[in-house]
Amino acid sequence: MTSAALDLRSAPRLRPTTAPPGRRPPQRPALRVLEGGRGPAARARRAQYRRRRLVALALLVTVVATVLLLANAVLAGSAGGGTPISAAGSSAPAVHVVQPGDTLWSIARSLNPDGDVRITVDRLAALNGRGPLQVGQELVLP
């Protein structure tokens, strides 16, 4: 081998350590870390979205509660069980005013839902006579 070939291989390569003179590339702006990675506008939009959802939920709960209360009032008014049963131990006997569709069996079932209805029907018939029921008739309850 020749000495010139050896010189080329052994010579170190030079790499620039500084930027070449002339025009410099623009500086990058310094980065800032935002809280949660969101800017103030995004946080404000998110808070507004949450408020709207809460208002919508409150409105929905109010509407559902109103519908349930109205339905309960309508059902209670149309149930029409007659006059309320007087408290036990009072001197006046308990009375039930017969409504359309009432039978001795339905009245006995409402008075004694867990017991034997036949016994209650027999007591009602004995206290009030065995004739047919008339709307508006007052039945003495056992």
Tens of pLDDT, residues 70-108: 988 888 776 655 555 555 555 667 888 888 888 888 888
Interatomic CA distance for residues 65 and 6, integer angstroms: 96
Q: How far is CA 139 from the centre of its chain?
A: 44
d(CA 90, CA 86) in angstroms, rounded, equals 7
- Residue 115 confidence (pLDDT): 80
Amino acid 59: pLDDT: 97
Mean pLDDT rounded to a whole number for the chain:
78
Is the pTM higher than 0.75? Answer: no
B/e letters for 19-40, b = 16+ CB within 10 Å, e = fewer, are eeeeeeeeeeeeeeeeeeeeee
Is the predicted pLDDT of residue 127 greater than 90, yes or no? no
95-97 vs 138-140, strand pairing mode:
antiparallel
